[in-house]
Structure 1
Amino acid sequence: MSDIVPNDRKPAMIAALAGGWVADAASLGLHWLYDSQRILEVGGQSPEFLPPKAEYFTGGFGYFAHEGKQAGDISHYGAATGVLSDSLLANEGTLNIRDYQRRFRAFFGPGGQWQGYIDNPTRVTLANLHTIEQTAIEQAQASTTAELTDKQKRILVQKVLPYTRCLSGEQLADPVTRAISLTYQEPEIQKAGVHLAEAIDRQLLLESGADDMQLPAVSKLPPLVASYCGSDKLMEVTEAAVRVTNHNDDAVAWAKCAARLLDHLFRGDPLSVAFDGATPEAPDPDNLNKARSGSNLNAVGAGDTFGRTCYLHEAMPVIFHILSHAGSYTEAVRANIQCGGDSCGRAWVIGPAMAAIHGVGGEHGIPLGWLARVTNAPAILTDIESLVGSQ
């Protein structure tokens, strides 16, 4: 918020958010290839921004999920981060869960913009949002006292749903009445339709996520942390946002750990202070402390020790190890890719953290050439500047 974060930290926050997009796109080509030796064979010492190809996954264990994507494209993690960013931008930097849910459903659901892999939390969240809506309709219909035929009830539901999916509260009455009046001029039917819309609206649940403790819980956090940087509401909004897609207590705890880490770094605190502030939020602080030990960067070894999959209890120690030992943004992103597994998911903490520390350009920051390689980079960077500038 503008009264908490000094203006001289805003360039670092802009760099940090850009760092997430760049790290995600850089990792896409070898995402979910678990064989570190195969990664070395394919990518060598510069494995970033490779075009996703199924042939990379032959001869090594992995899952090729990004058919049709090009070098520079983002993963489904980046797409979900973009949805939350759009919601924050539309609400002047404030988290509006209903707006976020609507945008998430519209973007990833049938007829939406996303073309690509759908992960388990997204798939289950979409199903849950549909179920929540159907339950709300049934409860709203049961509360309606007007004498309506079955046909009228069906038509009223069809009339009101486009509005309950994009409006709330007092916003509903006028457009719903106008929509119903195109078919029914009777005031009592119009009134029943407004009641139906408002009753549906009240029944829609805010906690729509899957019982899932994987990386989608934390990958969306950088724009949210930027919007609430330094605020005493950060942990509250972190939990609320996470439960939209990951309704799981461990996922929330790991997300609070990641949010606390990024919040410290966005405000300019040293990495050691950020680690110390974030670690107590974690379900497994011992592994985070273990990951910070030693003097050498060995991301492959960290993957061997803690795991490379999408689960947060594996990913977060690997993230802490890389952040503890990498000396630059480039080194951290390359180490994350070389570790293997869910590199795109981990990128959304590693990239923003390293960019918050090292900025853009120079020996240690985000390479300028990498920024230019991200698909739709101008639009992404414009949105980042708008989001941070509104704080």
Structure 2
Amino acid sequence: MAAAVANRAIGAIVGSAVADAAAQPLHWVYDLQKLQVILAQHPNPEFCPESANPFYRRQTGQQSCYGDQAVVLLESLSACGGPRPQLPIEGPWRHASLKGFLKNVDAGKEETGCEDDCQIDGITKLAPVVAFYAGKPDMLEKVEQAVRVTQNNDASDWDYFLRFLEHFILNGPDPKALDSVLDQLSDPNRKQPQDLDKAIIGLPGAFQAALHGVLTATRYEQAVRDTMSCGGCTCSRGSFIGACLGAQIGLEGIPVSWTSKTQCYASVLEHAKKITRQHQ
């Protein structure tokens, strides 16, 4: 039982990182006509050899700006045994929450999180934290601490996403996962209650698309491909879908043809194994 949980936790971390890297060349492509041309040329768009991102360019196989944060958190957990801010967080793209975060750091503020950004950053980087604390009573508290390092507002906690991921890590595939999470959110005695627990907030399209990808997926590869074919913020949706499916299928279910193209795979796997030893 313990070994199975550890394997699913590793699968969540690796699955998230690999899916993020796979989707990175097509991150933030909102021009659907351009996207259709790309998909016609690359019907399996993962690890597209040329970046089509109109905002930043990275080599194929590298992480997105979201994935960079996830790797930093993973390395911090591995080195320190808990989520601590790494200052400053470096990345090829400084989106709104990181700009606010760095501004607060430069100002010497004790609370560094951006107060007015509630985008999906809050969940894309947290597979390592959920994997580390899955099954522990303080999981949501630790997740909130990690989120608030860069996004310090109530709308960015995304605890429904994290409850899904924890459920899959602890239980594996479960067709009743949605019912289970909704039951948790309806429990007046639940941990870390939020006024908006029952609402879909912040980015409803991203939430619905990612959740749909998790609940309807039959294979890891196809689920990531399907969400990539929708365009937009492919990496945020892909990383969450990859984490949830990775938790269900374990490390062995993530295709070698994908992990071999993920540049940080060896490092991610090493750190993932280290922080999940507690589950064994």
Give the TM interval when normalised to the shorter protein.
0.7 to 0.9
**Structure 1: how far apart are the matches of 2:180 and 2:228?**
27
Matches within 5 A, 1:225-240: 225-240=130-145
**Aligned match for 1:65, one of 18, 36, 55:** 55
**CA-to-aligned-CA distance 1:86-131 (integer Å, 9 cap, x gap):** 2211222x33xxxx22x1x2332xxxxx4x1111101110101221
Does residue 347 of the first structure (1) align with residue 252 of the second (2)? no
Is structure 2 residue 48 aligned with structure 1 residue 50?
yes
TM-score (norm 2): 0.87
Q: 1:265 aligns with which of 160, 165, 168?
A: 168
- Contact 1:33–1:39 (CA<8 Å) still a contact in 2? yes
In structure 1, the partner of 2:26 is 30
Which structure ranks higher in relative contact order (CA pairs < 8 Å, sequence separation ≥ 6)? 2
Equivalent in 321, 333, 336 of residue 227 of structure 2: 336
The one-letter code matched in structure 2 to 1:371 is T
CA distance in 1, matches of 2:137, 2:179: 18
Ranges in structure 1 where 5+ consecutive residues have no aligned partner = 57-62, 109-113, 134-203, 289-310
Aligned residues: CA RMSD: 2.3
Q: Which amino acid aligns with 2:38?
A: V
Aligned partners of 2:98 and 2:200: how far apart in 1?
Answer: 28
Mapping of residues 314-333 of structure 1, within 5 Å: 314-333=205-224
2:257 is the alignment partner of 1:369? yes
Moved more, 82-91 or 5-14: 5-14
Name the CA shift for 1:38/1:352 in 2 (closer, same or farther; >3 Å): same
**Cα distance in 2, alignment partners of residues 76 and 355 from structure 1:** 21
* Cα distance between partner residues in 1 of 2:167 and 2:213: 17
Using the aligned pairs only, state the percent identity: 30
Q: Whole-Å Cα distance in 2 between the matches of residues 269 and 380 of structure 1?
A: 21
Deviation at residue 51 of structure 1 after TM alignment: 3.3
Larger radius of gyration: 1
1:125 counterpart = 2:125: no
Return the structure number with greater helix share.
1
Distance, in Å, in 2 between the alignment partners of 1:221 and 1:332 is 20
Per the TM alignment, residue 32 of structure 1 is displaced from its structure 2 partner at its CA by: 0.6
> What 5-or-longer segments of structure 2 have no aligned partner?
186-192
Q: How many aligned positions are there?
A: 267
Deviations for 1:161-195, whole angstroms, at most 9, x for unmatched residues? xxxxxxxxxxxxxxxxxxxxxxxxxxxxxxxxxxx
Per-residue CA distance 1:308-329 (angstroms, 9 max, x = gap): xxx5332111111111212110
1:75 is matched with 64
The separation in 1 between residues aligned to 2:197 and 2:212, in whole angstroms, is: 14
Q: Is the 8 A contact 2:6 2:277 kept in 1?
A: yes
CA deviation after TM superposition for structure 1 residue 25, in Å: 0.6
TM superposition shift of 1:274? 3.0
2:119 and 2:46 map into 1 onto residues whose CA distance is 23
Distance 1:241 1:235, change over 3 A: same
Q: Is the CA contact 2:134–2:170 (under 8 Å) kept in the aligned structure 1?
A: yes
Counterpart of 1:214 in structure 2 is 119
**2:232 is aligned with 1:242:** no
